[in-house]
Amino acid sequence: MKRIWLLWPMIGLLGLSSAAQAGRVCVLETEKGTLVFRMFPEVAPRTVSRIGELADSGFFDGIVFHRVVADFVVQAGDPTGTGEGGSGQTIPAEFSHVHYIRGSVGMARDEDIHSNDSQFFICISEQPHLDGKYTLFGQVVEGEDVLDRIRQGDRILRMRTRPE
Q: Residue 18 sits in a domain of what CATH number?
A: 2.40.100.10
Length of the chain: 164
Q: What's residue 23's pLDDT?
A: 84
Give the Cβ contact number of residue 123 at 10 Å: 22
Total structural domains within the chain: 1
Per the structure, the complete domain to which residue 35 belongs is given by: 2-163
pLDDT at 34 over 70: yes
Question: How far, in Å, CA of 89 to CA of 54, rounded?
Answer: 11
CA distance 143 to 31: 13
Helix axes 45-57, 2-21, angle to 10 degrees: 50
pTM of the model: 0.87
> Who contacts 143 (Cβ-Cβ below 8 Å, separation ≥6)?
33, 34, 35, 36
Mean pLDDT, rounded, of the chain: 90
Distance CA 116, CA 105 (A): 13
pLDDT digits (tens, 9 = 90+) for 36-70: 999 999 999 999 999 999 999 999 999 999 999 99
